[in-house]
A and B are shown apart, each in its own frame.
Chain A
Amino acid sequence: MAGYLLIASRDAFESRAVPDYFALAADLAAEGAAVTVFLVENGVLGARRSAAGKALEALTGSGVEVLADDFSLRERGIAIDALAGGVAPASIDIVLDHLAAGRKALWH
Protein backbone atom coordinates (compact mmCIF):
# COMPACT_ATOMS: atom_id res chain seq x y z
CA MET A 1 0.00 0.00 0.00
CA ALA A 2 1.40 3.36 -1.05
CA GLY A 3 0.48 5.21 2.10
CA TYR A 4 -0.98 8.65 2.53
CA LEU A 5 0.17 12.17 3.21
CA LEU A 6 -2.63 14.36 4.51
CA ILE A 7 -1.61 18.00 4.52
CA ALA A 8 -3.70 19.97 7.00
CA SER A 9 -3.62 23.73 6.48
CA ARG A 10 -6.85 24.79 8.16
CA ASP A 11 -7.23 26.18 11.66
CA ALA A 12 -8.87 23.46 13.75
CA PHE A 13 -10.61 26.18 15.79
CA GLU A 14 -12.27 27.59 12.67
CA SER A 15 -13.11 24.67 10.44
CA ARG A 16 -15.69 22.04 11.27
CA ALA A 17 -14.17 19.87 8.57
CA VAL A 18 -10.85 19.40 10.38
CA PRO A 19 -12.12 16.65 12.74
CA ASP A 20 -13.52 14.76 9.75
CA TYR A 21 -10.16 15.06 7.99
CA PHE A 22 -8.36 13.67 11.01
CA ALA A 23 -10.94 10.89 11.29
CA LEU A 24 -10.17 9.99 7.68
CA ALA A 25 -6.47 9.81 8.59
CA ALA A 26 -7.26 7.44 11.45
CA ASP A 27 -9.52 5.32 9.24
CA LEU A 28 -6.82 5.05 6.58
CA ALA A 29 -4.35 3.93 9.24
CA ALA A 30 -6.88 1.41 10.52
CA GLU A 31 -7.09 0.02 6.98
CA GLY A 32 -3.37 -0.67 7.21
CA ALA A 33 -1.87 2.32 5.40
CA ALA A 34 1.09 4.35 6.60
CA VAL A 35 -0.40 7.78 7.21
CA THR A 36 1.30 11.09 7.93
CA VAL A 37 -0.60 14.25 8.77
CA PHE A 38 1.50 17.32 8.03
CA LEU A 39 0.23 20.48 9.72
CA VAL A 40 1.10 23.66 7.85
CA GLU A 41 0.04 27.31 7.78
CA ASN A 42 -2.83 27.86 10.24
CA GLY A 43 -3.08 24.10 10.60
CA VAL A 44 -0.34 24.37 13.22
CA LEU A 45 -2.51 26.58 15.46
CA GLY A 46 -4.14 23.41 16.76
CA ALA A 47 -0.79 21.78 17.50
CA ARG A 48 -0.29 23.34 20.92
CA ARG A 49 -1.39 21.48 24.02
CA SER A 50 -5.05 22.48 23.89
CA ALA A 51 -8.45 21.05 23.08
CA ALA A 52 -7.38 20.72 19.45
CA GLY A 53 -4.04 19.30 20.55
CA LYS A 54 -5.86 16.52 22.41
CA ALA A 55 -7.38 15.45 19.10
CA LEU A 56 -3.90 15.25 17.63
CA GLU A 57 -2.69 13.22 20.59
CA ALA A 58 -5.55 10.81 19.95
CA LEU A 59 -4.59 10.71 16.29
CA THR A 60 -1.02 9.74 17.05
CA GLY A 61 -2.45 7.09 19.36
CA SER A 62 -4.29 5.60 16.39
CA GLY A 63 -1.07 5.07 14.50
CA VAL A 64 -0.95 8.27 12.47
CA GLU A 65 2.30 10.21 12.36
CA VAL A 66 1.62 13.91 13.04
CA LEU A 67 4.21 16.46 11.97
CA ALA A 68 4.11 20.25 12.05
CA ASP A 69 5.88 22.49 9.55
CA ASP A 70 8.77 24.11 11.43
CA PHE A 71 8.48 27.36 9.48
CA SER A 72 4.75 27.69 10.20
CA LEU A 73 5.42 27.02 13.89
CA ARG A 74 8.18 29.63 14.07
CA GLU A 75 6.09 32.14 12.10
CA ARG A 76 3.35 31.83 14.73
CA GLY A 77 5.66 31.80 17.75
CA ILE A 78 4.78 28.23 18.70
CA ALA A 79 7.63 26.70 20.68
CA ILE A 80 8.51 23.07 20.20
CA ASP A 81 7.99 22.39 23.90
CA ALA A 82 4.44 23.75 23.60
CA LEU A 83 3.39 21.08 21.13
CA ALA A 84 0.79 18.46 21.98
CA GLY A 85 2.09 15.02 22.78
CA GLY A 86 3.18 13.06 19.76
CA VAL A 87 3.35 16.08 17.45
CA ALA A 88 6.85 16.59 16.07
CA PRO A 89 8.28 19.54 14.13
CA ALA A 90 9.47 18.78 10.61
CA SER A 91 10.91 20.50 7.59
CA ILE A 92 8.74 20.91 4.52
CA ASP A 93 11.20 18.51 2.89
CA ILE A 94 9.22 15.69 4.47
CA VAL A 95 6.41 16.51 2.03
CA LEU A 96 8.80 16.01 -0.87
CA ASP A 97 10.05 12.75 0.62
CA HIS A 98 6.52 11.38 0.72
CA LEU A 99 5.57 12.74 -2.71
CA ALA A 100 8.71 11.22 -4.20
CA ALA A 101 7.90 7.91 -2.51
CA GLY A 102 4.51 7.92 -4.21
CA ARG A 103 2.25 8.46 -1.26
CA LYS A 104 -1.25 9.63 -2.11
CA ALA A 105 -1.24 13.26 -1.10
CA LEU A 106 -4.25 15.33 -0.14
CA TRP A 107 -4.33 18.98 0.86
CA HIS A 108 -7.04 20.29 3.12
Chain B
Amino acid sequence: MADKKTLTFALMDAPYENARTTTALRLIDAAVRRGYNVNVFAYEGAVAVASPTQKPHPNTVHGRDVAEENHPNPKDWVAAVIAEAERRGAKVDWVQCGLCVDERGVTELLPGTRRGTPGDFWTFAEQSDNTLVIPTR
Protein backbone atom coordinates (compact mmCIF):
# COMPACT_ATOMS: atom_id res chain seq x y z
CA MET B 1 0.00 0.00 0.00
CA ALA B 2 1.42 3.33 -1.08
CA ASP B 3 -0.10 5.21 1.81
CA LYS B 4 0.22 2.74 4.65
CA LYS B 5 -0.13 4.65 7.86
CA THR B 6 0.76 3.64 11.36
CA LEU B 7 -1.37 4.82 14.26
CA THR B 8 -0.81 4.33 17.98
CA PHE B 9 -3.55 4.14 20.57
CA ALA B 10 -3.07 4.27 24.33
CA LEU B 11 -5.93 2.61 26.20
CA MET B 12 -6.54 2.89 29.91
CA ASP B 13 -9.96 1.52 30.78
CA ALA B 14 -10.81 -1.92 32.05
CA PRO B 15 -13.44 -3.72 29.95
CA TYR B 16 -17.14 -3.68 30.77
CA GLU B 17 -16.85 -0.31 32.56
CA ASN B 18 -17.71 2.32 29.97
CA ALA B 19 -18.10 3.06 26.29
CA ARG B 20 -14.45 3.88 25.69
CA THR B 21 -13.42 0.25 25.27
CA THR B 22 -15.85 -0.33 22.43
CA THR B 23 -15.06 3.01 20.79
CA ALA B 24 -11.35 2.21 20.95
CA LEU B 25 -11.91 -1.16 19.30
CA ARG B 26 -14.14 0.47 16.67
CA LEU B 27 -11.29 2.84 15.84
CA ILE B 28 -8.73 0.05 15.73
CA ASP B 29 -11.02 -2.06 13.55
CA ALA B 30 -11.59 0.81 11.13
CA ALA B 31 -7.84 1.42 10.96
CA VAL B 32 -6.92 -2.18 10.16
CA ARG B 33 -9.70 -2.32 7.55
CA ARG B 34 -7.82 0.50 5.83
CA GLY B 35 -4.67 -1.60 6.00
CA TYR B 36 -3.06 0.69 8.56
CA ASN B 37 -0.58 -0.70 11.04
CA VAL B 38 -1.85 -0.20 14.56
CA ASN B 39 0.09 -0.06 17.80
CA VAL B 40 -1.71 -0.38 21.09
CA PHE B 41 -0.30 0.39 24.50
CA ALA B 42 -2.67 -1.11 27.06
CA TYR B 43 -2.07 0.75 30.30
CA GLU B 44 -3.62 0.32 33.73
CA GLY B 45 -7.02 -1.42 33.65
CA ALA B 46 -6.90 -1.74 29.86
CA VAL B 47 -4.59 -4.72 30.21
CA ALA B 48 -7.73 -6.72 31.04
CA VAL B 49 -9.21 -5.94 27.61
CA ALA B 50 -7.02 -8.61 26.03
CA SER B 51 -7.05 -11.04 28.93
CA PRO B 52 -7.37 -14.52 27.42
CA THR B 53 -9.15 -15.90 30.50
CA GLN B 54 -12.38 -13.99 29.79
CA LYS B 55 -15.35 -16.29 29.40
CA PRO B 56 -18.84 -15.75 27.97
CA HIS B 57 -21.83 -16.47 30.15
CA PRO B 58 -25.50 -17.33 29.76
CA ASN B 59 -28.06 -14.71 30.74
CA THR B 60 -31.15 -15.84 32.57
CA VAL B 61 -32.66 -12.35 32.51
CA HIS B 62 -32.44 -12.42 28.72
CA GLY B 63 -33.67 -16.04 28.73
CA ARG B 64 -30.70 -17.17 26.67
CA ASP B 65 -28.14 -19.92 27.15
CA VAL B 66 -24.46 -19.27 26.64
CA ALA B 67 -24.59 -20.00 22.90
CA GLU B 68 -27.71 -17.90 22.29
CA GLU B 69 -26.43 -15.02 24.42
CA ASN B 70 -23.15 -14.90 22.46
CA HIS B 71 -21.83 -12.58 25.13
CA PRO B 72 -19.05 -10.29 23.95
CA ASN B 73 -15.60 -10.81 25.37
CA PRO B 74 -13.28 -7.96 24.36
CA LYS B 75 -10.41 -10.44 23.99
CA ASP B 76 -12.31 -11.80 20.97
CA TRP B 77 -12.50 -8.29 19.50
CA VAL B 78 -8.75 -7.95 19.99
CA ALA B 79 -8.12 -11.34 18.35
CA ALA B 80 -10.45 -10.35 15.51
CA VAL B 81 -8.68 -7.08 14.72
CA ILE B 82 -5.29 -8.81 14.87
CA ALA B 83 -6.58 -11.41 12.38
CA GLU B 84 -8.17 -8.75 10.17
CA ALA B 85 -4.88 -6.85 10.06
CA GLU B 86 -3.05 -10.00 8.97
CA ARG B 87 -5.58 -10.58 6.19
CA ARG B 88 -4.94 -7.06 4.95
CA GLY B 89 -1.16 -7.19 5.14
CA ALA B 90 -1.01 -4.93 8.15
CA LYS B 91 -0.05 -5.49 11.75
CA VAL B 92 -1.46 -4.88 15.19
CA ASP B 93 1.31 -4.64 17.76
CA TRP B 94 -0.55 -4.89 21.06
CA VAL B 95 1.61 -4.24 24.13
CA GLN B 96 0.43 -4.98 27.64
CA CYS B 97 2.07 -2.74 30.27
CA GLY B 98 4.13 -5.22 32.27
CA LEU B 99 3.82 -3.58 35.68
CA CYS B 100 0.08 -3.18 35.13
CA VAL B 101 -0.46 -6.88 34.38
CA ASP B 102 1.67 -7.92 37.35
CA GLU B 103 -0.15 -5.79 39.89
CA ARG B 104 -3.53 -6.90 38.56
CA GLY B 105 -2.65 -10.56 38.13
CA VAL B 106 -3.58 -10.41 34.44
CA THR B 107 -0.31 -11.90 33.23
CA GLU B 108 -1.57 -14.40 30.66
CA LEU B 109 -1.07 -13.15 27.14
CA LEU B 110 -3.53 -13.42 24.28
CA PRO B 111 -1.76 -14.71 21.12
CA GLY B 112 -0.56 -11.73 19.13
CA THR B 113 -0.08 -9.54 22.18
CA ARG B 114 3.10 -9.02 24.14
CA ARG B 115 4.37 -7.66 27.41
CA GLY B 116 6.10 -4.28 27.33
CA THR B 117 7.03 -1.04 29.04
CA PRO B 118 6.39 2.72 28.72
CA GLY B 119 9.49 2.70 26.52
CA ASP B 120 7.47 0.74 23.97
CA PHE B 121 4.80 3.41 24.04
CA TRP B 122 7.38 6.09 23.36
CA THR B 123 8.89 4.02 20.53
CA PHE B 124 5.39 3.56 19.11
CA ALA B 125 4.77 7.29 19.27
CA GLU B 126 8.08 8.06 17.58
CA GLN B 127 7.42 5.61 14.75
CA SER B 128 3.76 6.44 14.15
CA ASP B 129 2.01 8.96 11.98
CA ASN B 130 -0.11 9.86 14.97
CA THR B 131 -0.98 8.82 18.52
CA LEU B 132 -4.33 9.01 20.25
CA VAL B 133 -4.53 8.71 24.01
CA ILE B 134 -7.94 7.54 25.21
CA PRO B 135 -7.91 8.51 28.86
CA THR B 136 -9.83 7.10 31.77
CA ARG B 137 -11.38 9.21 34.48
A residues with CB within 8 A of B: 7, 9, 40-42, 71-72, 92-93, 95-96, 99-100, 102-103, 105, 107
Contacts and interface: CB of A to CB of B under 8 A. Distances in A.
B75 interface: no
Interface stretch (B41-49, B65-73, B129-137): B129-137
B26 A107 contact: no
Interface in B21-71: 23, 26-27, 30-31, 34, 36
A92 B135 contact: no
Nearest to B3: A100
Contact of B30 (A41, A92, A103): A92
Contact of A105 (B26, B36, B130): B130
Interface of B: 5, 7, 18-20, 23, 26-27, 30-31, 34, 36, 129-135
B130 A100 contact: yes
B134 A107 contact: yes
A40 B23 contact: yes
12 contacts: A9-B23, A92-B23, A92-B27, A92-B30, A96-B31, A96-B36, A99-B129, A100-B36, A100-B129, A100-B130, A105-B132, A107-B134
A96 B20 contact: no
Nearest to B8: A99
A92 B26 contact: yes
Contact of B135 (A93, A100, A103, A107): A107
Contact of B19 (A41, A93, A100, A102): A41
Contact of A42 (B19, B27, B31): B19
Contacts of A92: 23, 26-27, 30
Nearest to B29: A92
A96 B5 CA distance: 10
Nearest to B131: A105
B29 to A, nearest CB: 9
A9 B27 contact: no
